Chains A and B, each alone.
Chain A
Amino acid sequence: DGGITQSPKYLFRKEGQNVTLSCEQNLNHDAMYWYRQDPGQGLRLIYYSQIVNDFQKGDIAEGYSVSREKKESFPLTVTSAQKNPTAFYLCASSPGLAASLYEQYFGPGTRLTVT
């Protein structure tokens, strides 16, 4: 089965702790993305990566960090500096070449709750 996996589905953390969300794809896509979804606000881009060992900040990168050491993996760390980390986090991928022509493939999401 080809696709994107995110784990875990639900994650609970105490305030002040860093937490890492996993995202893996076996679609051989170059580009990968992390979005945050809050009720009534649609999707907001946190970070994206066009290719291995390269990534760019999105619209709301503060308090988050990423790495892209392997083509298939793009983990997101939510740091204690993120003021409102409770949200639904979505990972996506798409082909890198002529990226504008292709749709994004989304994982099932991780719901993070920080108390």
Chain B
Amino acid sequence: AQSVAQPEDQVNVAEGNPLTVKCTYSVSGNPYLFWYVQYPNRGLQFLLKYITGDNLVKGSYGFEAEFNKSQTSFHLKKPSALVSDSALYFCAVRDMATGGFKTIFGAGTRLFVKA
């Protein structure tokens, strides 16, 4: 079965410091991986995705993610955190067993950036 795990419920970081939000996956075949962000009482917003190609993917708002096939990881990173980055972050993978229509979401990691 395909799955995605976010091992940290919460990540705390000081403003200006680098941040990492972790994600690991388990899929059969090639993974199609995504990161989304959710602000309070709002829908999810797409940040970035890995389909194929370069292992370092750049996305919105200065975020990037590194795809590591050997470690089956897709960690989200940002060189310098902002207070406004505080939100709930979801890692996701397309479920290829359903032709890619379904998406499997991680449980989410809450990021707190302290001024």
Contact = CB atoms under 8 A, between A and B. Distances in A.
Interface residues of A, number: 28
Contacts of A45: 102-103
A42 B90 CA distance: 8
A6 B44 CA distance: 13
A31 B43 CA distance: 17
A41 B107 CA distance: 6
Interface residues of B, number: 24
Contact of B100 (A40, A42, A43, A98): A98
A50 interface: yes
Nearest to B103: A104
B63 to A, nearest CB: 14
A100 B99 contact: yes
Contacts of B105: 42-43
Nearest to A100: B100
Contacts of A42: 90, 105-108
B45 interface: yes
A50 B101 contact: yes
Interface in B93-115: 94, 96, 99-103, 105-108
Contact of A99 (B9, B45, B51, B101): B101
Contacts of A90: 43-44
Interface stretch (A13-21, A74-82, A106-114): A106-114
B49 interface: yes
A60 to B, nearest CB: 13
